[in-house]
Structure 1
């Protein structure tokens, strides 16, 4: 809001203030992106699947990630259990609709891609904040030069 008011009023002080606010906003974003996000440990897909497997709560996981069993549908066969309907696309229990991949790999790749998306969004936000900072500085310089020219 300060930047909008500064641009409308063509105020050097307000424009410089908005540039400082943008820089103050960008610095913690850069620090958190560099230090926290890149060191952030991706949640273990195997751990998540194991907890769901032990709790006998695989249905939601299998439908969401389009997977079956911990490593494949053979996990159910080895336990002499029927393959649950959640292992099939659209819950149609035919062999051509069976999910072939295991949930550990699918959930792990989901967690890793989610982290990657978050890092990309964070860097885009940093770039946008720095671009706005540079534009605010140039706008403040332009307003100052315009005020100087009007004095002659």
Structure 2
């Protein structure tokens, strides 16, 4: 039983360290997003909630690691309750996850750049060069405006035989923005489900560890009460026994 207990204990420590690293990553990403978010917006609130959640996870993990290292049954039970609470919050967050407005600034930037393409074409050209797209919907938008397709709509290609050539981006900037938003949403959901799975794994470890620790404590108590026949149990040390050597020294 000791081998199983130590195995669960050390794997639990590794799982909690990984859990803390993920929480630190959540706080770091939310801190960067908080600097770019506008106050009093859903985007700003979302990043603040992420920072609070990450900090709470770090505190809970430190508390749980203390219980694992010190082999404290009561601390492991409290840590299990904390994990259950966090797991419930994470599950509700995953189930109720909906695309929010924290990426709406990119769409506003695109609309602003395309609206001023006639007077300030450098804004749209800079956006096209960064996102590797052409026009609002496609390159035909420039033809509808009777404008020449800019150089930012062409992707340079290197060929060994004929030198450097260019290739026109066929996808519009709106489609490119939608594709990136869908990718980010899928990534966020995968990340959330990964955290939920890790929390379930840690919860299973803490429950198994608490059961094993309880059984080990019961075995220790039974072994103390079971004394073989003919063996005299040594009395526990008390204040009288502790003074006996001093009294003997005075008599001598």
**TM-score bracket, shorter-length normalisation:** 0.7 to 0.9
| Paired position in structure 1 for 2:215 | 145
Aligned residues of 1:68 and 1:99 also touching (Cα < 8 A): yes
Choose which of 90, 98, 102 in structure 1 pairs with 2:168.
98
Unaligned runs of 5+ in 2: 1-61, 118-122, 159-163, 223-252
Shift of 1:48: 5.9
Q: 1:40 aligns with which of 93, 99, 102?
A: 99
Deviations 1:48-77 (A, max 9, x none): 643331133322331232110012222223
- Taking only aligned residues, the RMSD between alpha carbons, in angstroms, comes to 2.6
Q: Which runs of 5+ in 1 are unaligned?
A: none
Query: What residue number does 1:2 align with?
Result: 63
- State the alpha-carbon separation in 1 of the partners of residues 186 and 109 from structure 2: 19
Which stretch shifts more, 43-52 or 126-135? 43-52
1:50-106 residue CA offsets vs partner (Å, 9 max, x unmatched): 33311333223312321100122222233222222221225x9x8633212111211
The structure in which a higher percent of residues are strand is: 2
- What SS class does the counterpart of residue 96 from structure 1 fall into? strand
Aligned to 1:30: 91
* Aligned-residue offset at 1:143: 0.8
- Please give the residue correspondences for 1:116-131 in structure 2 after superposition, counting only pairs within 5 Å: 116-131=186-201
Q: Secondary structure at the match of 2:136?
A: coil
Matched, 1:78 2:144: yes
Tell me which residue corresponds to 1:67: 133
Compare CA radii of gyration and give the structure with the larger one: 2
The separation in 1 between residues aligned to 2:130 and 2:91, in whole angstroms, is 33
